[in-house]
Amino acid sequence: MVIRVVVHRVDVDRFGSVPPGWRWCVSALPDPSDDRGWLNAGWEPDQRAAAMAGEAAGVCALRALRLAQVGVTAHPTEVLDHDPCPAGAMDVPLIQEMI
């Protein structure tokens, strides 16, 4: 298994409910648009913050899988030039909207 962290700008034209900014995702599958592999994801206002949050979550996932004795490696964080999220994938309330 390979753990990947990807960051990308939010496509606000496709996802109007998500504010402009950057999304990060920790994925266990090679295709970042395949939501079956998403282990954790979030939003940050800028690329650096998204990369840091994604990497922190990625390290946590990596350590948990290794503790469970799952053979796993990690790829470096990848910055995508497009928003890979499939339609409807981000149509969920942000945590700040839930509070």
Question: Over the stretch 9-26, which tens digit does the pLDDT of each residue have?
Answer: 988 788 777 788 999 999
Is residue 65 assigned to a domain?
yes
**What pLDDT, in 10s, does the model give residues 52-88?**
999 999 999 999 999 999 999 998 999 998 888 776 6
Domain count, the chain: 1
Is residue 45 assigned to a domain?
yes
Which residue shows structure tokens 């928003």?
A: 83
For 23, half-sphere exposure in the C-beta direction (CA atoms, 13 angstrom radius) is 26
**Residues forming beta bridges with residue 30, ordered by sequence position:** none
Q: Kindly report the pTM of this predicted structure.
A: 0.80
Is residue 98 assigned to a domain?
no
Is residue 99 assigned to a domain?
no
Domain membership of residue 55 as a residue range: 2-93
Is residue 47 assigned to a domain?
yes
